[in-house]
Amino acid sequence: MPGRVRTAVGETATGFELTGESTPVGELASGVWASRHLLGILARKDFVVRYRRASFGLLWAVAVPLVQALVLAALLSKVVRFSTNVDYSVFVYSGVVLWTAFSNSLSSGSAAIVDGADLSTKVYFPRAVLPLVSVFSNAYGLLVSVVIFVVMAVASGVALRPGFVLIVPGVALCLLLSASFTLVLAGLHVYFRDVRYLVQAGLLVWFYASPVLYPLRAVGGLRPLLEANPMTGVIELFRAGTIGADPEWLRTVMFSVAWTVVLLVTATLIHRRYNRVFVDLL
């Protein structure tokens, strides 16, 4: 039965090792699907509680990435000149919108299983639900920010055209990539409690290694590395349908899709193997 957990303690050369039965992939997937209502409730609660006591409430979900984009655009435009198809602030905001959702999901979701120990030790559900809560919670703010971006882009002179539908797969790929990374990191964090801090440090470098503030054509010899960056394809796909992307944007999307598939497979293997014993290590 899904709620039955079998674990055992085995003696090894270095001490004791906690082991348990692996969860079949079908059972793991059906368990996550069966917990979709719980996932939705926890995601909405997390999003609302985050801003409930703030004077401007949910407006902060949009204001923070918007102000960040405007400040970065204002500062960088005084230092460097990048040739973009639209106003530079709109160009930066198109990247910041997606990056904010991605980085926030990884920051909170990478430690979600450990941080949700109080809930997961009281009732059984697949532990994969906990990191997914972070992704779905940040999706609310992402969707609102996308609407603000479209209004901002049109106001700056970008014409509405059929290509705008690429916003949908762009947002979907961002959420899928966020979910795949978060599931892997949350599983690893149960065993290696340094993961939380490595993610925080890594995101600082990762931001500048992603084409948020600059077009791909501006990086010269570093272009192959940036094309392999998982977030590059997400950002370029989003821009392809709105403000215009790099001519080779489709190749970067293929890298992002490949990263997502590999990470989802890795996440499935981790949670299949350790789902039943995660709670015993919290």
Residue pLDDT, tens place only, 154-167: 988 888 888 889 99
pLDDT of 107 higher than 60: yes
pTM, two decimals, is: 0.84
pLDDT of 15 higher than 50: no
pLDDT tens figures, 189-198: 988 888 999 9
Mean residue pLDDT across the chain: 83
The pLDDT assigned to 8 comes to 42
pLDDT tens figures, 218-234: 888 899 999 999 999 99
pLDDT of 211 higher than 90: yes
How many angstroms separate the CA atoms of 66 and 156, rounded? 15
The pLDDT assigned to 11 comes to 43
How many angstroms separate the CA atoms of 39 and 52, rounded? 20
